[in-house]
Amino acid sequence: MTFPGLDRIEALARNLDSWQRDLAGKMTELEDSSAEGMSDSGLVRVTAAADGTIVSTEVNARAMRLDSYTLAEEFTVAAKRAQEAAAARVRELVGEVMADAPGGGGAMADVPGGSRPAESGRPAAGSQLPDDRPDWY
């Protein structure tokens, strides 16, 4: 007797080792990655780590001519851009990992946020159960 899913399970097991090595490499790449953000004037540059932590800032000497409110805005804009760029890099690397996952086939890449909602086997909220009872019944 043959089992239809057995071939698929065997193929997944064969690919698991190489996928784990790729995953470890991507995790190292992610830990070492950072992104920069620059203010509109170009006078403030901020670097953020992959987790969004600000790791460095650079201020052009000409920025000292700005009033404190404008300088604060420059820092805020640059930091926000650096953190957004870091988050985009994380999404990119996670998308690559998921696309290469055994059996994944990139199915997670087309889902907003990069993950699927948990499936409970129940109809969506507000829909009717098979016996026409509301799902909150």
Residue 56 lies in a domain: yes
Total domains, the chain: 1
Whether the CA torsion 83, 86, 88, 94 is positive or negative: it is: negative
- 0.85 surpassed by pTM: no
- H or E element: which one contains 56? strand 54-59
pLDDT, residue 31, reads 84
Average pLDDT per consecutive 10 residues, the chain (137 residues; last block may be shorter): 75 78 83 93 96 95 95 97 94 81 52 43 47 52
Residue 66 lies in a domain: yes
- H or E element: which one contains 80? helix 68-100
pLDDT, residue 13, reads 78
Residue 22 lies in a domain: no
pLDDT, residue 112, reads 43
Residue 122 lies in a domain: no
